[in-house]
C-alpha cells in the first residue's frame, strides 16, 4: 500500500541536489570554530523548535522560548504550555546533537518510538490529548505508544492501527542503510520523511517526531549538523511543504508512474523539494556565519550600543577574539582592550551581564554568547520579521 519506498534510481534532479547538499554541508562545518559552533548550535536548536512547532500551528515567540530555557515561565496558562512544549523539543534535539540518542538507525520504528516517548514525556498534561474531530472525544496520547485508533489526516486515511507493526517493519527494511549507497541514504531521508507521516504511527506528535528523525538521519550521515535546520525552510514554504506531502499521498498516476500503489512522481517531487530546502538552509547559514561578515555585523552592533551608552568602549576586540579563536583567556582582556586590568574587567563583566560572553565559572575562559536581544542584528532573517 505504501510502495514505492524510494524514488527510482537515476533521477538526475535528485542526484544533483543530493551531491550539492553533501558538499555544501561539509564546507559549512569547516567554516566555524568548534567552540563557536557549540554556541550557534544552542541558538539553532531554539530556532528549529520554533519553526517545527510553527508548522503545527503553535506560534511561540522566540523571546518566550529564550525565557523558558532560563526557567522563566509565563503566568498565562496557554503561553506557559507552549513554552514547556518548546523546551521539550529542544531537550530531545540536544540529546541527538550530543550523540545521546539510541545507537540504532534513526529511520526505524524503534527510534521513532524513542523520539515520541522522549518528546511527549516532557510535555504538560494539557498537550497529551488528541480530539476526534467527528465526535469531539478526547483521546489520551501515551508517550512512545503506537496509536490504537483510526485517524484521518486531511483526505488521507492512514493504515489501520492493527496493521501498524507490519507497516513499521517494512519502513525499517526499506531504509536499512546497509542496503543503500551513501547517495541513496541521503535520498532516503526525504522519502522516509514522507512515508513516516503517511503511516502516522502515533495519535499525535507525528510531525515533530518526523522532523526530529530527519535531523537525526542527516546528522548520522555526516551531512546534518547543529549549525542548520531543515525546519526553518519547511516552515517558510509551509504551503508547498504540505501540498507536496499531500500530493505524494496519492495513488499511482498511470503506467509510467512507477510500479507501486502510491505515486512515484509525487515522491520524487517531495524528495526534490525537501533536499533543495536543505541546501537552501545550509547556504543561508553559511552566508550569515561567514566570519568576516559576522564580525562586521557584530562591530556595527557594538558601535551602536557604545554610542547609546549600553556597552563600554573596548568590547569589540574581545568579541572578535571569541569569534576567531573560539574562546578568550580572561587575562588577555587588558591586552585586547588596551585598558588597565580593572577597566578591562569592567568591560568583561558587562559583556557577561548582557550574555554576549559566557563562561563556566568566574575564572574560566570566555566564549561567545547569542542572547535573544542580538539575534536579529547578528543573524538577520533567522526568524520572521517581528
**What are 71-93's pLDDT values in tens digits?**
999 999 999 999 999 999 999 99
12-131+143-289, CATH topology level: Fic-like fold (1.10.3290)
Indicate the pLDDT class of residue 61, thresholds 50, 70 and 90.
Answer: very high
Helix count and strand count (H, E) for the chain: 16, 4
Locate 186 and state its grid cell: 541521503
Locate 7 and state its grid cell: 524514488
Which pLDDT does position 173 carry in this prediction?
97
- What is the Cα 320 distance to its own chain's centre? 27
Average confidence score pLDDT of the chain:
94
Locate 163 and state its grid cell: 496493521
Stretch 369-376: mean pLDDT? 92
Indicate the pLDDT class of residue 386, thresholds 50, 70 and 90.
Answer: low
Q: Find, among 352, 357, 297, the residue nearest to 321 by Cα.
A: 357
Question: Contact 107/216 with Cβ under 8 angstroms?
Answer: no
291-378, CATH topology level: Arc Repressor Mutant, subunit A (1.10.10)
Q: Return the SS3 of 341.
A: helix
Question: Contact 21/275 with Cβ under 8 angstroms?
Answer: yes
Range(s) of the chain covered by CATH 1.10.3290.10: 12-131+143-289
Range(s) of the chain covered by CATH 1.10.10.10: 291-378
Indicate the pLDDT class of residue 103, thresholds 50, 70 and 90.
Answer: very high
Locate 319 and state its grid cell: 568579541
Which pLDDT does position 135 carry in this prediction?
75
pTM of the model as a whole: 0.93
Amino acid at each position: 500500500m505504501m510502495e514505492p519506498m524510494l524514488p527510482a534510481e537515476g533521477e538526475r534532479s535528485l542526484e544533483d541536489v543530493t551531491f550539492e547538499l553533501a558538499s555544501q554541508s561539509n564546507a559549512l562545518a569547516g567554516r566555524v570554530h568548534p567552540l563557536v559552533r557549540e554556541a550557534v548550535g544552542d541558538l539553532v536548536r531554539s530556532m528549529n523548535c520554533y519553526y517545527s512547532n510553527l508548522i503545527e500551528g503553535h506560534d511561540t515567540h522566540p523571546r518566550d522560548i529564550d525565557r523558558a530555557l532560563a526557567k522563566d515561565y509565563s503566568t498565562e496558562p496557554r503561553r506557559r504550555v507552549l513554552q514547556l512544549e518548546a523546551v521539550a523539543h529542544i531537550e530531545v534535539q540536544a540529546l541527538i546533537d550530543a550523540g545521546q540518542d539510541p545507537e540504532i538507525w534513526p529511520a526505524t520504528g524503534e527510534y521513532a518510538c524513542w523520539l515520541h516517548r522522549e518528546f511527549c514525556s516532557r510535555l504538560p498534561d494539557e498537550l497529551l490529548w488528541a480530539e476526534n474531530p467527528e465526535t469531539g472525544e478526547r483521546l489520551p496520547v501515551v508517550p512512545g505508544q503506537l496509536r490504537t485508533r483510526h485517524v484521518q489526516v486531511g483526505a488521507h486515511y492512514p493504515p489501520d492501527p492493527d496493521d501498524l507493526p507490519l507497516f513499521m517493519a517494512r519502513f525499517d527494511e526499506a531504509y536499512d542503510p546497509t542496503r543503500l549507497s551513501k547517495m541513496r541514504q541521503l535520498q532516503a531521508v526525504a522519502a522516509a520523511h514522507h512515508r513516516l507521516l503517511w503511516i502516522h504511527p502515533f495519535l499525535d506528535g507525528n510531525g515533530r517526531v518526523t522532523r526530529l528523525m530527519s535531523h537525526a538521519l542527516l546528522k548520522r550521515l555526516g551531512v546534518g549538523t547543529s549549525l542548520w535546520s531543515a525546519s526553518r525552510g519547511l516552515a517558510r514554504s509551509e504551503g508547498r511543504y504540505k501540498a507536496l506531502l499531500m500530493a505524494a499521498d496519492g495513488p499511482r498516476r498511470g503506467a509510467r508512474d512507477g510500479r507501486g500503489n502510491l505515486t512515484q512522481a509525487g515522491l520524487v517531487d517531495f524528495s526534490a523539494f525537501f533536499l533543495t530546502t536543505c541546501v537552501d538552509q545550509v547556504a543561508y547559514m553559511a552566508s550569515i556565519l561567514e566570519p568576516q561578515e559576522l564580525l562586521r555585523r557584530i562591530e556595527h552592533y557594538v558601535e551602536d550600543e557604545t554610542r547609546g551608552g549600553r556597552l563600554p568602549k573596548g568590547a569589540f576586540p574581545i568579541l572578535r577574539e571569541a569569534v576567531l579563536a573560539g574562546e578568550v583567556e580572561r587575562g588577555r582582556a587588558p591586552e585586547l582592550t588596551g585598558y588597565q586590568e580593572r577597566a578591562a574587567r569592567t568591560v568583561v563583566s558587562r559583556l557577561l551581564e548582557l550574555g554576549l560572553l559566557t563562561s563556566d565559572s568566574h575564572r574560566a575562559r570566555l566564549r561567545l554568547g547569542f542572547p535573544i536581544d542580538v539575534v536579529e542584528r547578528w543573524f538577520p532573517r533567522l526568524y520572521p520579521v517581528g
